Amino acid sequence: MNNKIDFGKIKEFDGKLKLTGDKSISHRAVFFASMAEGESIIENISLSADVESTMNCFKALGVDILKKDDKVFIKGAGFDGFKEPNKPLDAGNSGTTSRLLIGLLAARNIKAEIIGDESLSKRPMNRIISPLNNLGASITSNNGYLPVKINGNGVVKKFNYELPVASAQLKTSLILYGLHSDEESTIIEKIPSRNHTEIMLNLHTIKEGNLTKINFSKKNYPIAQKYFVPGDISSAAFFIIMTILNKNSSLLIENVSLNPTRTGFLNVLKKMGADIEIVEQKSAASEIYGNLLVKSSKLTNIEIPIEIIPNIIDEIPILAIAGLFGEGKMIVKGAEELRIKECDRIKAIVENIKKLNVEIDEMQDGFVLLGKPEGNFAKVLYESYDDHRIAMAFAVLSMVNENGGSVSNFDCVRISNPIFLKQVQEIIS
């Protein structure tokens, strides 16, 4: 069914928003709590369908998981406690669920099959499978795609591995595998990626020039504990830019993750002239979070530094909307990873923006966009491509455009933020 949503221009607002938990941290909290011995509690967990997929997979592995409102109680299986699943583990649309499970289950003495929906089944898994098989795992796939079959042998030897690309999913999958060895393994990272796994497991990291060395072994295996998940900074990005682009508006976002590997897009926006201020900062389990105050701003486009692209990859669709209203050219390079997300996000951004008769040039690894600060674009129907971040980005564009706009297949936003529309109403009411 084509769940098209029509959006009108929103009014000026002075709002407040408290987001549900960060999706990346929520995934990891469920993984670590399920692996640990004893009961863990996760507070302010993400309500996303992706995190629900992670919980369902662990239930199928015999983990006792009880959800009450925004809290989840998990009785972990311990080091050897997972049951062999009697049916395929369905990761839904979640790349994080599937890729992290591959690394974890490859280390266990069980057989399992991982499947996903139509979109996830088109996303490559060889980046995870190949290095694990080279380290002694036994994993087969459908030519590098789901379904993936794991024949775990329960034997993991220490390893040293240099990440060929900046990928928190690959890094975490290898860490989950290496946590099953008595001997210490090392991952070398040339370009920093999200470090939630290292923080939450309290892993020993060493900086050597531009390199980061991450050391881990069975001694770092998760223990049962209480987790507080800060608000999702990637979800916050849509409301931050909605505020910046809406005249005479301001928004206070409470208890949102401020992990330095996740806030690169805030730095990009500040360089463009955005009025964003951290008004309070806290920490829980070494994760930094706090309150952000955002105000309407005039923007000047920039060439986004290529070295921070890995840390803003999820925010590029909504940054493109900011660039649409900025003065001058926004240049995005080194973002080819966008082509293998839930859809080809580079193509999706370019094709939708072309509908507005705006100058935008598509490149293999990005795009060049010439902004129109005066805005006032025609009302058009944007294609979501069944991608939650594309859908929300062009919903924001529709809401700040004088003539409004429409977005097709909008129900795909449930993948990361099923209450997006409710949050918009809370802000503007």
What is the C-alpha radius of gyration for the chain, rounded to an integer number of angstroms? 21
Output the six-digit token pair for 154: 């329960």
Q: Could you tell me the pLDDT band of residue 286, with boundaries at 50, 70 and 90?
A: confident
CATH of 23-216, one of 3.65.10.10, 3.40.630.30, 3.20.20.140, 1.20.58.1000: 3.65.10.10
For 151, the enclosing helix (H) or strand (E) is strand 145-151
Is the whole-model pTM more than 0.85?
Answer: yes
- Tokens 């070494």 sit at which residue? 286
Mean pLDDT of 336-351: 97
pLDDT tens for 176-193 read: 999 999 999 999 999 989
Round to whole Å and give the CA distance between 91 and 145.
Answer: 13
Q: 3-state SS of the chain: helix, strand, coil percent to 5?
A: 35, 25, 35
Beta bridge pairs of residue 342: none
DSSP conformation letters of 58-111: HHHTT-EEEEETTEEEEEEE-TT-PPPPSS-EE-TT-HHHHHHHHHHHHTSS-E
pLDDT at 134: 97
pLDDT at 70: 74
CATH of 5-19+231-428, one of 3.65.10.10, 3.30.1390.20, 1.10.287.90, 1.10.3720.10: 3.65.10.10
The separation between the first and the last C-alpha atoms of the chain, rounded to the nearest angstrom, is 30
pLDDT at 208: 92
pLDDT at 60 over 80: yes
Instruction: Please answer whether residues 175 and 197 qualify as being in contact, where contact means their C-beta atoms are separated by less than 8 angstroms.
Output: yes
Mean pLDDT of 244-270: 97
pLDDT at 304: 98
Strands (E) across 172-326 are located at 185-189, 204-208, 211-216, 226-228, 250-257, 275-284, 287-295
CA 414 to chain CA centroid, nearest Å: 14
Annotated active-site positions, please? 314
- Each domain of the chain, given as residue ranges in start order, spans 5-19+231-428, 23-216
pLDDT tens for 73-92 read: 999 999 999 999 999 999 99
Q: Could you tell me the pLDDT band of residue 69, with boundaries at 50, 70 and 90?
A: confident
Q: Could you tell me the pLDDT band of residue 333, with boundaries at 50, 70 and 90?
A: very high
Instruction: Evaluate whether 5-19+231-428 and 23-216 have a shared fold.
Output: yes
Instruction: Please answer whether residues 321 and 393 qualify as being in contact, where contact means their C-beta atoms are separated by less than 8 angstroms.
Output: yes
pLDDT over 90, % of the chain: 95
Mean pLDDT of 334-348: 96
pLDDT tens for 373-423 read: 988 999 999 999 999 999 999 999 999 999 999 999 999 999 999 999 999
Which position has the higher pLDDT, 392 or 284? 392
Mean pLDDT of 290-318: 96
DSSP conformation letters of 373-395: TT--PPP-EEP-TT-HHHHHHHH
Mean pLDDT of 247-253: 98
